[in-house]
Structures are given as structure tokens and as C-alpha cells.
Amino acid sequence: MLLVIEVVDPSPERDTGAKRAIYSEAGIDELWVVDLGARRVEVSQRLVGTDYLGEAEHSEDMVFSGLVPFVRMELAELEW
């Protein structure tokens, strides 16, 4: 599977920690964590082995997938 988009509220710690390792071990190549409380999206790509690299946080504008063409999320349209 190429991409998982996880929406977290109110406990992002579990999603950015334990579940992140589960996704990596399952072969998920790209992970988006949409943190409703913080109004941001964290994007991580699994480029080497089982570790996610290339993390970026977005709080404005648009987020694009680096692996799946035409997948994007316009943050201004989310109902935070």
C-alpha cells in the first residue's frame, strides 16, 4: 500500500509513535497524520528500510503526495 491518511484527535502521540511503527512494518510507503487539534498535517515517506524519512509539517496551503500522482489535500477546505 502506498499511502495512509490518519486523522487524529485528541491523542496524536499514539498515532505518531506506536502506530507509525506498525504502518512502516506493514509496508506503508507514505503516511499523512492530520492533527485536528494542532491544525496541521505531518507527511512522512518510507524511503529506506523501515524508517520514515523526509518528514514535513504543513499548516497552510496544499499537501501533495510524493508517491501517488494527483493525490492532494487543500488544508483551507478542512473543517478544523
Q: Spell out a b/e string for 25-35, using b for 16 or more CB atoms within 10 Å of the CB, else e.
A: eeebbbbbbbb
Residue pair 55/43 in contact (Cβ under 8 Å)? The answer is: yes
Q: With a cut of 60, say whether residue 69 has pLDDT above it.
A: yes
Domain ranges of the chain: 3-60
Residue pair 37/30 in contact (Cβ under 8 Å)? The answer is: no
pLDDT computed for residue 47 by the predictor: 65
Digit-coded pLDDT (tens) for 1-46? 789 998 887 665 665 667 888 888 888 889 998 888 888 888 888 7
